[in-house]
DNA sequence: CCCCTTGCCGAAACCGGTTTCGGAAATTTG
DNA sequence: CAAATTTCCGAAACCGGTTTCGGCAAGGGG
């Protein structure tokens, strides 16, 4: 840290070397018309004198502030909230590799988000943006695409024109989960979709259906619950699925938080999670490890996602084509206690639920 | 969002008004030597043409980028991790009130943190910093103080020279908790301190001791467990306290995560949380609401803290004295199920624990 | 030996704002 | 009505870098 008012400028550095600032600048930025000897001499002096160019002074000519923009929508149901620290760590570390930083803002609505994206890009607080939690139809994407502002999606979307992205293959996870449950003997497998309008909801649902198809199981609308993204909705949806004439013996949840509610619903039917009813979910939130039994779920490496997104965005800003900047990763299955072999047929399960229910009413 | 290459500069704006850019600049920045009529005319045109000054172009002359710096240490035991989203939302909203933004970085160690603080301040990616989770002796503070870089603490510290801060009075919470437990009949009240070296640990311990003193209870070193900041440590520490000849009938935990472990320890002694042993903790993490019974704890309004810190830092950067920028808030007690009336004397509790233990061994 | 490259660096323009300074016009004062 | 202020705006310097352009000197080829 420099003493107050003692910062060394490029002029100071140049003077101390007997060069002009233009030479120094070119030496530091690896221009080819600077001799190797001079380049080394300049680098050394810069390091000794602890010279660091002011990023905004550079930006005025280069047009780049070397900053990634991220606008978080906090009102939103936030499955990713628990991962936020990791996500941000991933982004900042990925950014640091290229000497970039992260500029963060929070918004309360989509309209507010777009307002901030415009403001931040016009004031050049950021050179481009990472858009988390993409929708099938995403107004943020339209706005940025329209304004020719570089961006990268965390997730995919419907209209992929000009879009770069990193995403986790949630559809693959759901498909595998169905296969696993089928292997364990389950024949009626329920499904709770995620948030309305999100792209991931569509993909995970497709994965579930594809899994059924591959297992040779027929689709049954009665097995697909309403959207559920939190504890309450998860509990309600699960209860609805269980109180049917042919209830599922296993339920697949698009998000962990819904699964937490599913636990409650299953218990209040007098059943045990992982025994009479199996649960597999997706996300890998920390609460899952506190549950009893621990939640079997597909965990996402959010930190790695952040790092990849940073890398992709920087390359996008530097001019690479969006089409060449698209990556997909996989979730990792945490095989824990909330799922197991199918113990009862659907009919027996229905009978048991009815029995317990009648018993309670007496 | 502007079409590509179509951004309006201050010169464009000036030309369209028949003025010079110096006049326009002063009009927009409320200089007194601009007539009211001109000021309005300029403002109106700026708004119509959607003019937004480039922040880095402003910064080159003003020296300020209007950005708050925050370096998070991710390796650290992270009690604040669950609150991160709220904390960041608070900061960014507080910053937005003055048209500032947040620049975020993450570090893996204290040394790394200091390196980043220096780098960010020297490159002027930020005008000042918020330092979360303060230590009694904090190298970050030394570095920034030494470099005359503005900063604000989230927490307090030992050497308060040049320090501004916002903090929650954890000591008051602990003191109140002791009073509450005393009122419920508890006479032997245990305590688990928090992380080693943190300033909050000292304060909360003092609060606990002060609570004892005010209740007329004597201090007993056997009632103070080892530091505990996570589930495992909380479980170990609690077990140690309970397996004594005169165990506590209530335990106060400095952090919620330790309390989560305490639940396990109490259960494995064959006891029930909130019945034979009461627990009160501090933080208000979301996991506390998932526990059974729900955790009684002092919740911190992290979002508000963030907003206050942003406000204080901005005023600090603008030159207000550190001494005038010190605020303390209070935690809010969540009266839930993990504490209740004292049911057993310490001796009876010890006997019960021994009984259950012997029973298990057979 | 001369000309033509090539290598290397200095001079100066430039980026888009802010701020200082000076002066003309309008207004007030004597 | 002249003189002294005010009011208000233009001209130009400035901030700290980057980038373009031009030219000198050394080296190579004919």
Q: What is the pLDDT of residues A157-213, one digit of tens each?
A: 999 999 999 999 999 999 999 999 999 999 999 999 999 999 999 999 999 999 999
Most A CBs within 10 Å: which of B57, B62, B80, B85, as the mutation test of the A interface? B85
How would residue A361 be classed by pLDDT, with cut points 50, 70 and 90?
Answer: confident
Coarse DSSP helix, strand, coil percentages of chain B, rounded to the nearest 5 percent: 50, 15, 35
Q: Are B333 and B298 in contact (CB under 8 A)?
A: yes
Q: State both tokens at B74.
A: 């991710």
Q: Does B1 reach chain A within 8 Å, measured CB to CB?
A: yes
25-54 in chain B: CB under 8 A from chain A: 50, 52-54
How would residue B362 be classed by pLDDT, with cut points 50, 70 and 90?
Answer: low
Helix (H, G, I), strand (E, B) or coil at A328: strand
**CATH number attached to the domain at A67-163+302-329:** 3.40.50.2300
Q: State both tokens at A73.
A: 């929508």
Q: Does B168 reach chain A within 8 Å, measured CB to CB?
A: no
The average pLDDT across B78-89 equals: 77
How would residue A77 be classed by pLDDT, with cut points 50, 70 and 90?
Answer: low
Chain D bases under 7 Å from protein CB? 7-22
Q: 10 Å Cβ neighbour count for B211?
A: 25
CATH 1.10.260.40 fits A1-49, yes or no: yes
Q: Does the fold of domain B170-300+334-361 match that of domain B67-168+302-330?
A: yes
Helix (H, G, I), strand (E, B) or coil at A72: strand
Q: Which nucleotide is nearest to A35 (CA to C1')?
A: C8
Q: State the DSSP string of B181-225.
A: HHHTT--SEEEE--STTBHHHHHHHHHHHHHHHHHTPPP-GGGB-
How would residue B5 be classed by pLDDT, with cut points 50, 70 and 90?
Answer: very low
Q: Pick the residue from chain B with its C-alpha nearest to A125.
A: B55
The average pLDDT across B349-356 equals: 94
Q: Which fold has domain A170-296+335-361?
A: Rossmann fold (3.40.50)
Q: Do B123 and A89 touch (CB under 8 A)?
A: no
Q: State both tokens at B321.
A: 């004295």
CA A145/CA A160 separation, integer angstroms = 11
Q: Do B2 and A147 touch (CB under 8 A)?
A: yes
**CATH number attached to the domain at B10-53:** 1.10.260.40
Q: Distance (Å) from CA A46 to C1' C15? A: 24
Q: Do B123 and A53 touch (CB under 8 A)?
A: yes
Q: Do A148 and B119 touch (CB under 8 A)?
A: no
Backbone angles phi, psi at B123, to 5 degrees: -80, -5
- Contacting residues of A for B59, CB less than 8 Å apart: 54, 56
Find how far residue B303's CA is from the centre of its chain.
9
Q: Sign of dihedral through CA atoms B147, B152, B155, B157?
A: positive
CA A35/CA A41 separation, integer angstroms = 10
- Contacting residues of B for A71, CB less than 8 Å apart: none
CA B231/CA B233 separation, integer angstroms = 6
Q: Are B250 and B339 in contact (CB under 8 A)?
A: yes
B19 touches strand C (CB under 7 A): no
Chain A window 17-56, residues with Cβ within 7 A of nucleic strand D: 21-22, 25-26, 28-29, 31, 33, 53-54
Percentage, residues of chain A above pLDDT 70:
96
The per-residue pLDDT for range B224-243, each reduced to its tens digit, is 999 999 999 999 999 999 99
Cis amide linkage into residue A78, ω under 30° from 0: no
- Contacting residues of A for B128, CB less than 8 Å apart: none
CA B104/CA B97 separation, integer angstroms = 18
Residue A244 carries which DSSP code? S
Residues with Cβ within 8 Å of A105's Cβ and at least 6 positions away in sequence, in order, are: A69, A70, A71, A72, A116, A120, B92, B96, B101, B102
Coarse DSSP helix, strand, coil percentages of chain A, rounded to the nearest 5 percent: 50, 15, 35
The per-residue pLDDT for range B99-147, each reduced to its tens digit, is 999 999 999 999 999 999 999 999 999 999 999 999 999 999 999 999 9
Say which CATH class B67-168+302-330 falls into. alpha beta
The per-residue pLDDT for range A274-301, each reduced to its tens digit, is 999 999 999 998 889 889 999 999 999 9
In this structure, of A196-200, B81-85, B270-274, the range with the lowest mean pLDDT score is B81-85
- Contacting residues of B for A119, CB less than 8 Å apart: 52
Domain ranges of chain A: 1-49, 67-163+302-329, 170-296+335-361
CATH 3.40.50.2300 fits B170-300+334-361, yes or no: yes
How would residue A6 be classed by pLDDT, with cut points 50, 70 and 90?
Answer: confident
Q: State the DSSP string of A304-317.
A: HHHHHHHHHHHHHH
Q: State both tokens at A62.
A: 């280069």
């Amino acid at each position: 840290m420099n003493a107050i008012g003692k910062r060394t400028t490029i002029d100071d550095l140049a003077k101390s070397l007997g060069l002009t600032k233009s030479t120094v600048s070119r030496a530091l930025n690896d221009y080819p018309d600077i001799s190797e000897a001079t380049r080394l001499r300049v680098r050394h002096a810069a390091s000794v004198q602890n010279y660091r160019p002011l990023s905004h002074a550079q930006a005025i000519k280069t047009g780049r502030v070397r900053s990634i923009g991220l606008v978080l929508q906090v009102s939103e149901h936030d499955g990713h909230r628990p991962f936020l620290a990791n996500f941000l760590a991933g982004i900042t570390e990925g950014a640091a590799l290229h000497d970039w930083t992260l500029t963060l803002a929070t918004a309360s609505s989509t309209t507010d988000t777009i307002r901030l994206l415009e403001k931040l890009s016009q004031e050049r607080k950021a050179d481009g943006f990472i858009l988390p939690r993409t929708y099938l139809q995403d107004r943020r994407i339209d706005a940025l695409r329209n304004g020719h502002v570089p961006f990268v999606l965390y997730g995919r979307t419907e209209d992929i024109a000009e879009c770069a992205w990193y995403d986790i293959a949630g559809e693959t996870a759901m498909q595998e989960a169905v296969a696993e449950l089928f292997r364990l003997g389950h024949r009626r497998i329920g499904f709770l979709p995620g948030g309305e309008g999100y792209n991931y909801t569509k993909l995970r649902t497709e994965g579930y259906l594809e899994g059924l198809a591959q297992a040779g199981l027929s689709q049954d609308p009665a097995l697909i619950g309403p959207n559920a993204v939190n504890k309450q909705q998860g509990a309600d949806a699960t209860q609805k699925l269980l109180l049917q004439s042919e209830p599922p013996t296993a339920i697949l949840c698009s998000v962990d938080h819904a699964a937490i509610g599913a636990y409650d619903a299953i218990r209040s039917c007098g059943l045990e999670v992982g025994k009479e009813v199996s649960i597999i979910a997706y996300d890998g939130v920390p609460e899952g490890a506190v549950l009893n039994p621990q939640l079997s779920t597909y965990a996402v490496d959010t930190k790695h996602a952040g790092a990849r997104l940073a890398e992709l965005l920087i390359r996008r800003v530097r001019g690479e084509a969006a089409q060449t900047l698209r990556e997909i990763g996989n979730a990792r299955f945490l095989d824990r206690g909330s799922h197991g072999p199918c113990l009862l047929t659907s009919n027996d399960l229905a009978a048991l639920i009815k029995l317990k229910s009648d018993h309670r009413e007496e």
